[in-house]
Structure 1
Amino acid sequence: METGRTARTSRLRIETDAEAMERDLSRLVLTLVELVRQLVERQAVRRMEQGDLSEDQIEVLGLTLMRLEEAMTELCDRFGLTPADLNLDLGPLGTLLPED
């Protein structure tokens, strides 16, 4: 016979699929990386437009952002995600990432 504590514990347990959990965790991490990537890109564009960056800095920043975008594409492919999958719906607040 189950005790009250054992019954309560078994009700709180969530049956999970390891593959689904890995995919969802990957989606969350990639969403956060994409959010930061977009913020850095916007900041770089602002600084470039204001003339705060040298030509060398612009070149390095541009190459870095391109490589990061390529890496994001590869990771999305690896986990079977599309860029749209990374744009979490926040309900009444809209989506996390701006829709370009």
Structure 2
Amino acid sequence: MNTDRGRRDRPKGPLPEPSPGSGAPGDPLVRAFRLLQAPPPAPGETPPPAPRLKTDPETVGEDLLKLVLTLVELLRQLIERQALRRVDSGELTDEQEEELGATLLALHDRMTELCAEHGYTLEDLNLDLGPLGPLLPPAP
């Protein structure tokens, strides 16, 4: 029985450059993945070992909590940026701007409380994504 059914031989190495103006549906995705590829190591240099996930049965609950708080903080920051865009565009009334500001401030305060409750700061939630850099932007 052939288990490689449907599999195609893929070339090794970097993805080929798309032809200009080809407009194929996958072109933006190909360009995005090309940006994510790590640069090759210098000749004679060995690449550093990849970071390993540390799993400890005793801390799995805390690790999961930290991950959930990180995701909530990421969403909070994205919502905050979108709200600022809407405010800057002038599409909100003064009353809506006030309500939005109060809601975002309350959400930030609650996130700070939750982090403090579990011994974290908001800065502790910023995951290091290796060559991509930190997950969350630095605080202004």
TM-score, normalization by structure 2 = 0.58
C-alpha distance 89-53 of structure 1, shift in aligned 2 (>3 A): same
**Root mean square deviation of aligned Cα:** 1.2
2:82 is aligned with what amino acid?
Q
Higher percent of residues as helix: 1
- Give aligned pairs, total: 85
The answer as to 2:71 corresponding to 1:32 is yes
Q: Which runs of 4+ in 1 moved over 2 A?
A: none
Partner amino acid, structure 1, of 2:94: E
Structure 2: unaligned runs, 5 residues or longer: 1-54
1:91 pairs with one of 130, 133, 138? 130
The structure that has the greater radius of gyration is: 2
Question: What percentage of residue pairs aligned between the two structures are identical?
Answer: 56
How does the TM-score come out when normalised to structure 1?
0.80
Report the alpha carbon displacement of residue 35 of structure 1 after superposing the two structures with TM: 0.5
Amino acid corresponding to residue 57 of structure 2 in structure 1: T
The one of the two structures with greater contact order (alpha-carbon pairs below 8 A, sep at least 6) is 1
1:69 to 100, 108, 118: 108
- In the aligned structure 2, how far is the partner of 1:78 from the partner of 1:26? 11
Q: For each residue in 1:3-54, what CA deviation from the matched residue of structure 2 results, as whole angstroms up to 9, or x when unmatched?
A: xxxxxxxxxxx7610xx22211111011011001101111111110110111
